[in-house]
Amino acid sequence: MPYNPGFDQHKGIHGGVFATLLDSAGWFTVAPHYDHWITTVEFHIRLLEPAQHKALQSIGHIVRLGKRLATATMEVKTRQDARVIAIGSGTFAVTTVKMPF
């Protein structure tokens, strides 16, 4: 995600941006392994340090792929110096709705 000053607060980029990036990284890491839609059941985030005027990237790692639930860990890093800014984990449920593609 390129830096966007519209997401700034007094200490840097708003934490909600990190939450969105973490949830998205988990979803896009897990979803390709299923032919049905998945949905986030729960996720946890830990904000480690502020990021000011930085482009960010999120990365997901599979922990477990089950029949009905999948688990992933995720991290948000700065693109410039690869500092880890936030970490998280998520659980995703497999729905009964088939993927359209």
Pair of tokens at residue 56: 């960010």
**Domains recognised in the chain with CATH numbers:** 5-98 (3.10.129.10)
pLDDT, tens only, 8-52: 888 888 889 999 999 999 999 999 999 999 999 999 999 999 988
Three-class SS state of 52: coil
Q: Residue 12's pLDDT is what?
A: 85
Give the N- to C-terminal CA distance of the chain in Å, as an integer. Answer: 26
Residue-averaged pLDDT of the chain: 94
- Strand partners for 65: 70
CA distances from 67 to 20, 34, 38, 52, 59 (A): 25, 9, 11, 40, 23
pTM of the model: 0.90
Pair of tokens at residue 59: 């990365």
